[in-house]
A = this chain, B = another copy of it.
Amino acid sequence: MSALVGIIGACVLILVGMIMKGGSIGGIISPPAFIMVIGATLGVMMASSGLDTVPKMIKLCLGPGMKDPAERRAETIAILVEFAEKARREGLLALEADIERLDDPYLKKGVRLVVDGTEPELVQDILETELEQTEGRHRKNQEIFKNGAAFAPTIGILATVLSLVSVLQHLDQPDTLGPKISAAFLATFYGVMAANIFFYPMANHLKRHTESEVATKTLVIEGVLSIQSGDNPRVLADKLWSFVPPALRAPGEAAPAEPVGAGV
């Protein structure tokens, strides 16, 4: 939601400002500039990240781009503490029945490994490898947008220089000079616009998804290993809640550990 609202809002405000200044939307449409800037940017993005860059980009925009990262830490802690209590009372095998009702496949995998009696080192190894792989995969997705943000403005300038070169070769028609130079600068506008209103914000937005994913998975690793080693559920809760910012803590949980007045 925030990506959609922010990006569309920024576009609308720029157009509104332009119209208030007397510009017209028709005046900023130039198919050749669009082909040069957006086309060539997509080309070098494909050269950088593979032939499936464009469908991947669209999938990312329609998938995580359309929703904000969910905050699942509080409920994950609740489940982990509940499982720790059950495992203490009835043994690890008692968790088998509960695996199926879990929504989060990562938590599911962790609990199943524990129930299957996998060695702790291997459980940790497998869960951490999976976390690193997820992070790496997300980082590559962000890189697609970062590449776009890096290439678009320079390709915009490239197209503008190219257009100016051809304008300057025909200085003998002074009355068409203004509109031609104007059209040349549209390419810079397209490039800077694509980078700053779309590519960079999207990369930042995806980064938030990653951070949220990593935060939850870190909790799961910590929790699953604690369950396996039979830690006291109360101690586990203490440990897990210290991963969560005070503002998100369940009522009754450890008081905020910062001067209230600071408000940072």
The chain A residues found within 8 Å of chain B, CB to CB, are: 1-3, 5-7, 9-11, 13-14, 16-18, 20-24, 27-28, 31-36, 39-41, 43-51, 59-60, 63-64, 68, 103-106, 108-109, 118, 122, 125-127, 129-130, 133-134, 137-138, 141, 147, 150-151, 153-155, 157-159, 161-172, 177-179, 181-183, 185-186, 188-189, 192-193, 195-197, 200-202, 204-206, 208-210, 213, 235, 238-239, 242-245, 254-260, 262-264
**Are B129 and A48 closer than 8 Å at their CB atoms?**
no
**Chain B nearest CB: distance from A97 CB in Å?**
18
Chain A interface secondary structure, helix, strand, loop or mixed? Answer: helix
**Chain B nearest CB: distance from A208 CB in Å?**
7
Extra inter-chain contacts (5) besides given A7-B43, A13-B35, A169-B179, CB under 8 Å:
A2-B49, A5-B51, A17-B39, A18-B36, A153-B154
**Are B196 and A47 closer than 8 Å at their CB atoms?**
no
Report how many copies the assembly holds: 5
- Assembly CA distance A170 to B103 (angstroms): 61
**Chain B nearest CB: distance from A136 CB in Å?**
9
